[in-house]
Amino acid sequence: MLNSEIIRAKRDGQALDASAIRQFVSGIADGSVGDEQIGAFAMAIFLNDMNDVERIALSEAIRDSGEVLDWRDMDLPGPVIDKHSTGGVGDVVSLVLGPWVAACGGHVPMVSGRGLGHTGGTLDKLESIPGYDIAPSSARFRQLVKDAGVAIIGQTGDLATADKRFYAVRDVTATVESIPLIVASILGKKLACGLDALVMDVKTGGGAFMPTHSASKELAVAIATIATGAGTPTRALITDMDQVLAGSAGNAVEVAEALAVLRGERHDSRLYRVTRALAVEMLKAGGLADDDAEAVTRLDTALASRAAAERFARMVAGLGGPADIVERSDRYLPKAPVVRPVYAGESGHLAAMDTRALGMAVVELGGGRRQAGAAIDHAVGLSEIVALGERVDGERPLAVVHARSEADAERAAASLRAAMQLGEAPPPRLLIHAIVGPDGRVTEPGGYS
């Protein structure tokens, strides 16, 4: 079938069969399909959607456009499980979750990305650690997943080869915001990792990619059902992003906070609670726990015994970083020359937070990218960020700014004050808005607070 006829069929609202979708995606990967045809194909999908059969076929075709990892020859003693997040501000979950699940018997081959827009990137955070290699050889990556139970690295050119080119065309043809295309892009990469199970963290709220609850739910249901239909049982949590998840936003400052959680120092934090909720679902999905109670017991033991922290240290050392990073992070993580608190100028409770604006304040400090490929400053960011409902006054600042210069700090302070609204303390928000099972069934509200 000619590629132009595949485009025509989708343009006219017809459902495509799996062979046509696979042919077109193969052409994206090998270059035989031009950018103009990719753009037309993406627009046809954007306008006419895809049914579930097509969505599964597209996700599988992107998965199969490159290497698909196979762990059977590694004789792993536990399941291969992973998590993916749609991204947020202060979302340093992966750095805690991967080693925590590994300490409970899972094997987590986490292929992560860089920051996008106002959201931080896991790879950028990890590159705050001196010597950490985000692009190891395949053999080294696989062995570390076996030995340490976790390895967090960047996507190689061999995985889901078609996705990078497909996304680049979508980005310039106004076709990014399409559920079937978003799902296929996410799952093409994740399914290529050879997982036994996957847990999705779909953010909702002002700092999320999908800001409304209805849009987040649609995406969560689509990912859970399509991934499961493609052979990887998947469940999703819809988690809150109406405020910064961690108490910090940046790169080195978020790594420091993740290490504090792994050391058992932040049991009351939003980061800890969301990470534990995701870890519970991962243990159940991987058959490492029969129910929530058993999963929580295993996780609490792994944290209290420092087994989770030890897995993180083994991962860092295995990828070229310092083996004592957990206990001596102050020695290794970069520090900004200007560190100062920002006060509100009046007393009151934090009533609302423009989470996206805080993410952009970090970008303006140099902690994120204004354009792809730009260098970032790992030392800058915000720490000790006030939580919704918390009281600020002359003693409690809105946050602490970490900046390269006094001028940068002053601009960040102005952005911070503009993003924070004082007033009546809002009612507590659920951290987990809903849980989506592999069959797409939604439980609302979620079982966590």
- Known active-site residue 146: no
- Known active-site residue 170: yes
- Known active-site residue 189: yes
Report the candidate in 193, 172, 192, 171 with the shortest Cα–Cα distance to residue 182: 171
Report the candidate in 207, 229, 200, 205 with the shortest Cα–Cα distance to residue 215: 205
One of 84, 107, 125, 402 is an active-site residue; which one?
A: 84
Q: Are 392 and 383 in contact (CB under 8 A)?
A: no
One of 22, 59, 82, 107 is an active-site residue; which one?
A: 82
- Known active-site residue 59: no
- Known active-site residue 84: yes
With 0-12 / 13-18 / 19 or more C-beta atoms within 10 angstroms meaning exposed / middle / buried, residue 257 is buried
Q: Are 35 and 170 in contact (CB under 8 A)?
A: no
d(CA 9, CA 31) in angstroms, rounded, equals 21
One of 10, 55, 125, 170 is an active-site residue; which one?
A: 170
One of 65, 86, 94, 122 is an active-site residue; which one?
A: 122
One of 22, 83, 276, 311 is an active-site residue; which one?
A: 83
With 0-12 / 13-18 / 19 or more C-beta atoms within 10 angstroms meaning exposed / middle / buried, residue 51 is exposed
One of 10, 118, 125, 190 is an active-site residue; which one?
A: 190
- Known active-site residue 284: no
One of 94, 185, 225, 228 is an active-site residue; which one?
A: 185
One of 55, 64, 65, 85 is an active-site residue; which one?
A: 85
Q: Which residues are tagged catalytic?
A: 82-85, 122, 170, 185, 189-190
